Amino acid sequence: MRALLLAACLLAPGVAAAAGGTVHDVLFKTLDGRSTTLRPHKGRVVVVHVFTTWDVPGLRQVADLRALAQQRNKEVSVVGIGLDLEGALALTSFERTLKPGYPLWMPDGTFLEGRTPFGRPQEVPRVYVVGRDGTVRQGFVGYVPYADLLRMVDEELRR
């Protein structure tokens, strides 16, 4: 049953657009307005959570991602990308309230237009597993159960 549920969460046409290419140079903004990239995370498996502060499955995912970041902190990075129109205002409040324990960033126009290896974020939440080389390996729409997150990250760590 779990495999069926996870299969239902797999991105359909979007995965092909999101697969391949490197994510290390995709630009994001920190909550204090500085530009940043995933370049400092090169050589680590990165889990990218694309969400809004009002989507229930995305909120549910935060606790699992916090646990993953704590449990696998030597090998795995977790980053949240908030798509709220209010930007830093909404995300700062979200961070203060939920204390995710991993960085929250905002996308730039290139990300929103789908001109990155992540493809176009048409539905939220999304969870991407990025390999050590910066290639998007897997992408999912909706809540991904913690056991499945661990399995996917462990598979990527064995590569």
Structural domain span for residue 105:
2-158
pTM: 0.86
> Is-cis flag, bond preceding 13, omega within 30?
no
- CATH number, domain containing residue 20: 3.40.30.10
Per-residue pLDDT tens digits for 86-131: 989 999 999 999 999 999 999 998 999 999 999 988 899 999 999 9
121 DSSP β-pair partners:
none
Closest C-alpha to 67, from 44, 99, 89, 38: 99
Residues 19 and 129: beta-carbon distance below 8 Å: no
Number of domains in the chain: 1
Q: Write the CB contacts of 56 (distance below 8 Å, at least 6 apart in sequence).
A: none
| pLDDT per residue as tens digits for the range 8-46 | 333 333 333 343 458 998 999 999 999 999 999 999 999
